[in-house]
Amino acid sequence: MAADKTTRSETFPSGIASVGLGEVEREVPLDDPPPLPPNAGLAVIGKSVPRQNGRAKVTGATRFTVDVTLPGMLHGRILRSSLPHARVRALDLSAVARHPGIRAVLPVARPEDPVAALVRYIGAPVAAVAAVSQSAAEEAMRLIHVDYERLPFVADMDKAREPAAPLVHDAASAPQGSASGFPAPRGLPLNGNVRGPASDSRGDAAKGFAEADIVVEGEYRTQVQMHCCSEPHAIVADWRADGVTVYMSTQFTAGVRHELAETFGLKLSRVRVIVDGMGGGFGSKSTLGAYGRIAVALSRQAQAPVRLVLDREEEQMDSGNRPGTWQRLRIGARRDGSLTAISLLSYGTAGVALGAGVGNMAQALYACPNFTGAQHDVFINAGPGCAMRAPGNVPGAWGLEQAIDELAERLAIDPLVLRDRIDPSAVRREERRIGAERIGWQKRHAPGADPGPVKRGLGVAQSLWAANVQTNSACEVRVMRDGSVEVLSSVQDIGTGIGTVMAQTVAEVLGLRPEDIALRIGDTEYPAGSPSYGSRTTASITPAARVAAWRVLQSLLREAALALNAAPGDLIARDGRILVRDEPGRSMGFGEAAARLRTDRISAVAARGDDYGGFRRRMEDAALAQQDLGGVQFAEAAVDTETGIVRVERVVAVQDCGRPMNPLQIESQVHGGVVMGLSYALFEERILDQHTGRMVNPNLEQYKLAGAGETPAIEVVLLENYQGQSATDAYGMAEPATISTAPAIANAVYNAIGVRLRSLPMTPAAILAALGKIPARS
Amino acid sequence: MNRFAWAHARGIAEAAAAASTTVADAMAAPPGAGGDEMSIVKAGGIDLIDLLKENLLVPAKLVSLKDIPGLDGVVEEQGGGLRIGAMTTLATLADHSVLRRRCPVLADALRGSASAQIRNVATLGGNLLQRPRCWYFRAADYRCLRKGGGHCFALSGENQYHAIFDNGQCAIVHPSTAATVLVALGAAVELANAEGAQRQVLLEDFFVPPHRDVQRENDLKPHEILTAILLPQLPEGLRMAHVKQGERDSFDWPLADVAVAFDLDPEGSCKRAAIILGAAAPVPHRARTAEAALRGRRIDEDTARQAGRAALDGAMPLAKNAYKLPLFEVLVRRAILAAAARQ
Ligand SMILES: Cc1cc2nc3c(=O)[nH]c(=O)nc-3n(C[C@H](O)[C@H](O)[C@H](O)COP(=O)(O)OP(=O)(O)OC[C@H]3O[C@@H](n4cnc5c(N)ncnc54)[C@H](O)[C@@H]3O)c2cc1C
Ligand code: SF4
């Protein structure tokens, strides 16, 4: 074994910096770099480096997909169903085809096909055109004649569960899979409009409840939330004889490239996907999507570039959403707080699609020997849901973290003390300690204790999220003969500033400044990078960037070693110079060393290796790290008990992400997560008119998002949690940052007024109703 | 949005002649009627362009009032009143030294409306004439009663933001926040037509409730221009306040707002009171029972509370808006106490 050893042993820092660091031994591949010291010992990584594209963004120079114009570009538009459920008996495209401005016409609904003839929600695509101008495309919409046969529909989850409810799908059209988020096992039963249950259990829940001294039980509801990306879904598809180039606002250039190749029967080498600036995605831009396929098909037909940008109404009706859920949670505990059993029953709806589970919060957050869970998806005639920032665990936390607070109160144990007893995570224990101190937990009073109509309260909630890694993420680092450096990957900057983090990583290795590193990202011409979803981008791409930089540095050091008359192994790169480790006087500039290169440039490509300590689970090109991510958030809320208005005054968010690579950018992510969670807690809701199945607030006026006026003071504390698992030991946090906000606010509201809100959003009407202030109607 | 022509009127008569119809008349007409000829007046365009974007209105021409001299500004009139040009923007008024001195309650109400960007563009005249926000009204898919159809979708539908008073036929709430205050202060509007004829109408009478005409919110006639808003001289010692409550603090219409104005006799008893509820009814709603509850009484916590309760007299909440009852009750009380606290 010793003879062909491909790894070496290394000692890594390990543990939580604020608690005290220890060491861990890991086997690492021979050509991986040495362990990275804790942030305190680094020059660039772990520092708050401003994002490289910040100036371009705030001055309007950034080019978003909506800004792309190509010569001869056409404008696409989709005709959408105005009925929630109908059979398209006839689709007459003859008039539109004669319109002089129309260059391509595409039927989407197909009357001749028993499945494709059906539209199942308002906003479902029926046909599409490409026209010489936007107004011609809009005119064309009025020239398409659709003969619909109306079918009965159902737009409410509870009604859809009734035996006599109209069926949204039949066995052939109903999507397969489970309610438990992802991955979705196929083959779950379909009963009317209900798919499931997806079941999970351990121990013996019945026995556990029998052993309990106290059982709390509650029903929790969450509304449908929309993604509301500031940049709409947008694509410019340019089909040519030699292949297709697609400019697209996407969270995964490399994935869209694969989808395009498969959908249109092309070799990967003939497909290129590009995204420059991006205005958010939150899960709704993970795939090519129906509108993407339509744009490419129109471009192929017209033999010209086609631009397709969804308007806000299309965004709200047909670009995905966070499914609505209902769950019943029962938790049994002994007097000392130890949990004896948890049972979870959930129904959720992602409209015509699947994925409306409540995640794994109840299963996995707390130590409990007995668990039983059954989750179901309910189909209704409404736009399809899709992944949205921490899918599943956001509604999951809404229930679980309130139930745990309720249990704490019944046991007369402080909610933090109870969590100390039942939460096995050392990371969250430290996060609770830090957060409690920051928010001033000791001043928390009994529920409803404030005198006067405006009552204040403090609340806490925790989060759990798997640390995802995309194992096929790759990155290239190039050093040019003039000393300039490039980092290249198809990974896209969804708005988080990942490019800047890559520049920091490479700069740290090469002894340069982050601004010395040129970024080439968001283009599948470069090595395939990771998707920007599942909070995995930093975890996946930064180790590859460090390894590639390390390897290219070794080549450069070999050149420098000749000039400095030293062994390459004795050289280090620091402060823009290459120097001999123990004799810093013997050195040369980085550029001088580069000038000695034989060729114009040297380069190395590296892929994300496996976590040094191994993964917990692997799924094709993705994997789960051993240790989960999470965080603890504290909220302080003021409730006006006369008007029902809730104002969140302060949020303290203590989050972990392994090694924090760039605190400034991570804080921005946490701010975004908190505001999104607050907005979910208090304002947002897709409202469907029950008589017509139409969303009545498909805009950003009546669909209410929290604004600057509603944003609380947000304090972010980042844990440094080292595990010695990769070349950077960095993981994600964008999703956990939004999981616990709403339940923390709900627990604060309870602490303020002594009444528990179990349904979202907590509008003034809901608060006044909970307080018993709304008179019964006569 | 369809193509339309664009004209700048230089004078009031020219604008009145050019404007073939009002938005209310145009939207109530059967689809397609008058399409080729339809020309509409535009002020800031905040509401108008919204209607165009939703394809609720397809005019052939917009007539801008922006270049007409003398339509904006605030003038202190001989008799002690204020004349506010219809084209004065909300932002200008919010910061206007004369208005801030003479009627800070109105200036504050305007400062609290919409958002900074909107206030920079929106005019007071346009604000009073804006069409309702009912989401069925705003969606082209619903041809409801107010748009000339046969049915109100809100009464049995999603009515959480709708009226609690006078909601039997059509349950819109009047969208103008300024109107709540202006009606409480007894303001009037001045209108001119193409022939140069002028008329003045008390703002309260200018608004049209559903039983008079369910398809319009005001009595603007075709070929008529709103030229000014006239504030009467306010009696010495008048106590006023405006309070509003929105779900959000900006970029949102209030869920409820209340304007009160009253004066006291030397003994401290209320002589006259005006209590107007906004976002409560299809027109700014005068809470007569609440006004009566103040008259002749000293203003204290108790009277304010009784007036708050009295303000709900006649309210008939719909399935989803009963929360407005406790909300108005408390806002009326708070507004009265806030006004009493002002010297
Ligand atoms: C997000 C948002 C929030 C808002 N919040 C509030 C709020 O809290 N409170 C509130 O009161 N408003 C609010 N508004 C509404 C906004 O204040 C009005 O739309 C605006 O004041 C309209 O004024 P304008 O000058 O733009 O009118 P325009 O859109 O130009 O005109 C409105 C209508 O009046 C007609 N018109 C305008 N001027 C004249 C005239 N002089 N003579 C004859 N006809 C005329 C036009 O033909 C048109 O039909 C909000 C708007 C938005 C978008
Ligand atoms: S409330 Fe009025 S505007 Fe709204 S749907 Fe009913 S009739 Fe139309």
Q: In angstroms, what is the span from residue A270 Cα to ligand 2's centroid?
A: 54
Contact in structure between A96 and A140 (CB atoms under 8 Å): yes
Q: Which residue of B has its CA nearest to A138?
A: B1
Q: In angstroms, what is the span from residue B152 Cα to ligand 2's centroid?
A: 5
Q: With respect to residue B322, please indicate whether it lies within any of the assigned structural domains.
A: yes
Confidence check: pLDDT of A182 > 60: no
Q: Are strands B239-245 and B224-231 parallel, antiparallel or unpaired?
A: unpaired
Q: Please tell me the predicted confidence (pLDDT) of residue A775.
A: 84
Contact in structure between A500 and A520 (CB atoms under 8 Å): no
Q: With respect to residue B146, please indicate whether it lies within any of the assigned structural domains.
A: no
Q: Specify whether A499 is located in the same domain as A607.
A: yes
Cβ contact B326–A708 (<8 Å): no
Q: Which residues pair with A244 in a beta bridge?
A: A239, A271
Q: With respect to residue A486, please indicate whether it lies within any of the assigned structural domains.
A: yes
Q: Is B129's C-beta closer than 6 angstroms to any atom of ligand 2?
A: no
Q: Which two tokens stand for residue A594?
A: 């580069």
DSSP A322: B
pLDDT tens digits, A66-125: 999 999 999 999 999 999 999 999 999 999 999 999 999 999 999 999 999 999 999 999
Q: Which residues pair with A234 in a beta bridge?
A: A309
Measured between its terminal Cα atoms, the distance across chain B in Å is 51
Indicate the SS3 state at residue B152.
coil
Q: Specify whether A301 is located in the same domain as A353.
A: no
Count of A-B CB contacts under 8 Å? 82
DSSP A167: P
Domain end call among A309, A340, A361:
A309
Per the structure, how many domains does chain A have?
Answer: 4
Domain end call among A624, A644, A660:
A624
Q: Specify whether A334 is located in the same domain as A374.
A: yes
Rg of the Cα atoms in chain B: 20
Q: Please tell me the predicted confidence (pLDDT) of residue B1.
A: 73
Cβ contact B135–A697 (<8 Å): yes
Q: Which two tokens stand for residue B99?
A: 């208005």
Q: Which residues pair with A13 in a beta bridge?
A: A23
DSSP string for residues in A65-121: GGG---TT-EEEEEEE-SSSSEEEEEEE-HHHHH-TTEEEEEE-S-TTSTTTTEE-S
Q: What is the CATH number of the domain that holds A533?
A: 3.30.365.10
Q: Is B126's C-beta closer than 6 angstroms to any atom of ligand 1?
A: yes
Q: Write the secondary structure of A622-655 as one string of H (helix), E (strand) and C (coil).
A: EEECCCCEEEEEEEEEEEECCCCCEEEEEEEEEE
Residues found in chain B: 343
Ligand lying closest to the C-alpha of residue B225: 1
Q: Specify whether A617 is located in the same domain as A478.
A: yes
Q: With respect to residue A678, please indicate whether it lies within any of the assigned structural domains.
A: yes
Q: Please tell me the predicted confidence (pLDDT) of residue B32.
A: 65
Q: With respect to residue B52, please indicate whether it lies within any of the assigned structural domains.
A: no
Cβ contact A690–B139 (<8 Å): no
Average pLDDT (A645-653) is 98
Q: With respect to residue A94, please indicate whether it lies within any of the assigned structural domains.
A: yes
Q: Which of B14, B129, B248, B252 to mutate to test the pocket of ligand 1 (most atoms within 8 A of CB)?
A: B129
Closest-CA distance, A688 to chain B, in angstroms, reads 8
Ligand 2, atom 3: closest residue by C-alpha: B137
Share of chain A above pLDDT 90, in %: 96
Cβ contact A777–B317 (<8 Å): yes
Q: With respect to residue A158, please indicate whether it lies within any of the assigned structural domains.
A: no
Q: Specify whether A670 is located in the same domain as A618.
A: no
Q: Is B250 at the interface with chain A, CB within 8 A?
A: yes
Strands (E), chain B: 5-8, 39-42, 61-64, 74-76, 82-85, 188-193, 198-202, 224-231, 239-245, 256-264, 270-278, 285-286
Q: With respect to residue B328, please indicate whether it lies within any of the assigned structural domains.
A: yes
Confidence check: pLDDT of A1 > 50: no
Match 């989050």 to its residue by tokens. A655
Contact in structure between B146 and B132 (CB atoms under 8 Å): yes
Per the structure, the complete domain to which residue A355 belongs is given by 167-227+325-404
Q: Is B170's C-beta closer than 6 angstroms to any atom of ligand 2?
A: yes
Q: How far from A87 is each of A94, A126, A148, A151, A352, CA to CA, in Å?
A: 20, 11, 6, 7, 15
Q: With respect to residue A20, please indicate whether it lies within any of the assigned structural domains.
A: no
Share of chain B residues as helix, strand and coil, in percent rounded to the nearest 5: 30, 20, 50
Q: Is B172's C-beta closer than 6 angstroms to any atom of ligand 2?
A: yes
Q: How far from A480 is each of A520, A590, A592, A598, A602, CA to CA, in Å?
A: 14, 11, 11, 11, 7
DSSP A565: T
Q: Which residues pair with A29 in a beta bridge?
A: A7
Per the structure, the complete domain to which residue B331 belongs is given by 239-341
Q: Please tell me the predicted confidence (pLDDT) of residue A93.
A: 97
Choose the mutation target among A314, A642, A675, A699 for the interface with B, i.e. most B CBs under 10 Å: A642
- Please report which confidence band the pLDDT of residue A777 belongs to, taking 50, 70 and 90 as the band edges: low
Average pLDDT (A683-695) is 98
The CA distance from A349 to A382, in Å, is 9
Q: With respect to residue B258, please indicate whether it lies within any of the assigned structural domains.
A: yes
The CA distance from A484 to A576, in Å, is 11
Q: Which residue of A has its CA nearest to B136?
A: A696
Q: Please tell me the predicted confidence (pLDDT) of residue B73.
A: 96
Q: Is B323 at the interface with chain A, CB within 8 A?
A: yes
Q: Please tell me the predicted confidence (pLDDT) of residue A177.
A: 79
Q: Specify whether A216 is located in the same domain as A255.
A: no
Q: In angstroms, what is the span from residue B60 Cα to ligand 1's centroid?
A: 20
Match 């391509």 to its residue by tokens. A104
Q: Are strands A339-349 and A190-191 parallel, antiparallel or unpaired?
A: unpaired
Indicate the SS3 state at residue B59.
coil
Match 């398809």 to its residue by tokens. B215
Per the structure, how many domains does chain B have?
Answer: 1
C-alpha closest to that of A78 among A293, A384, A303: A293
Enumerate residues 6+ apart whose C-beta is below 8 A from A87: A117, A118, A148, A149, A151
Domain end call among A604, A624, A644:
A624
Ligand lying closest to the C-alpha of residue B158: 2
Average pLDDT (A582-591) is 94
Q: With respect to residue B114, please indicate whether it lies within any of the assigned structural domains.
A: no
B302 burial (CB, 10 Å; 0-12 / 13-18 / 19+) is exposed
Q: Which two tokens stand for residue B80?
A: 């002690």
Nearest to A768 among B251, B252, B326 (CB): B326
pLDDT tens digits, A194-209: 999 999 999 999 999 9
A586 burial (CB, 10 Å; 0-12 / 13-18 / 19+) is middle
Q: Which residue of A has its CA nearest to B334?
A: A642
Q: Specify whether A655 is located in the same domain as A759.
A: yes
Q: Please tell me the predicted confidence (pLDDT) of residue B29.
A: 83
Q: How far from A588 is each of A204, A565, A574, CA to CA, in Å?
A: 69, 11, 11
Mean pLDDT in consecutive groups of 10 residues from the start of chain B, 343 residues? 89 94 89 74 97 92 96 94 98 97 96 95 98 97 95 98 98 98 98 95 98 97 96 93 94 96 94 97 98 97 98 97 98 98 79
Q: Please tell me the predicted confidence (pLDDT) of residue B34.
A: 58
Average pLDDT (A595-605) is 96
Strand order across the beta sheet in which A622-624 lies: A468-470, A622-624, A617-619
| Helix ranges restricted to H, A384-517 | 393-411, 415-422, 426-439, 498-510
Q: How far from A427 is each of A363, A431, A747, CA to CA, in Å?
A: 19, 6, 22
Match 């109908």 to its residue by tokens. A86
Q: With respect to residue A118, please indicate whether it lies within any of the assigned structural domains.
A: yes
Q: Specify whether A617 is located in the same domain as A636.
A: no
Q: In angstroms, what is the span from residue A87 Cα to ligand 2's centroid?
A: 30
Contact in structure between A718 and A655 (CB atoms under 8 Å): yes
Choose the mutation target among B141, B162, B245, B248 for the interface with A, i.e. most A CBs under 10 Å: B248
Put simply, the chain B residues between 120 and 159 with a CB less than 8 A from any chain A CB are 133, 135-136, 139, 141-142, 153, 156-158
Q: What is the CATH number of the domain that holds B321?
A: 3.30.390.50
Q: Treating both helix axes as pointing N-terminal to C-terminal, what angle do A426-439 and A415-422 enclose, rounded to 10 degrees?
A: 170
Q: With respect to residue A288, please indicate whether it lies within any of the assigned structural domains.
A: yes
Ligand lying closest to the C-alpha of residue B110: 1
Put simply, the chain B residues between 158 and 177 with a CB less than 8 A from any chain A CB are 158, 160-161
DSSP B81: -
Q: In angstroms, what is the span from residue B149 Cα to ligand 2's centroid?
A: 10
C-alpha closest to that of A162 among A189, A193, A190, A188: A193
The CA distance from A20 to B121, in Å, is 58
Q: What is the pTM of this model?
A: 0.97
Q: Specify whether A609 is located in the same domain as A482.
A: yes
Q: Specify whether A343 is located in the same domain as A300.
A: no
What values do phi and psi take at A437, rounded to 5?
-65, -45
Ligand 1, atom 27: closest residue by C-alpha: B126
Q: Specify whether A460 is located in the same domain as A479.
A: no
Q: With respect to residue A314, please indicate whether it lies within any of the assigned structural domains.
A: no
Contact in structure between A250 and A285 (CB atoms under 8 Å): yes
Q: Specify whether A544 is located in the same domain as A685.
A: no
Residue A197: asked if its preceding bond is cis (omega within 30°), the reply is yes
Confidence check: pLDDT of A353 > 50: yes
Cβ contact A683–B248 (<8 Å): yes
pLDDT tens digits, A453-503: 999 999 999 999 999 999 999 999 999 999 999 999 999 999 999 999 999
Q: Which of B56, B134, B159 to mutate to test the pocket of ligand 2 (most atoms within 8 A of CB)?
A: B134
Q: Are strands B198-202 and A617-619 parallel, antiparallel or unpaired?
A: unpaired
C-alpha closest to that of A435 among A648, A650, A743: A650
Ligand 2, atom 6: closest residue by C-alpha: B152
Put simply, the chain B residues between 255 and 284 with a CB less than 8 A from any chain A CB are 255
pLDDT tens digits, A29-47: 999 999 999 999 999 999 9
Q: In angstroms, what is the span from residue B19 Cα to ligand 2's centroid?
A: 26
Q: Which of B27, B51, B56, B136 to mutate to test the pocket of ligand 2 (most atoms within 8 A of CB)?
A: B136
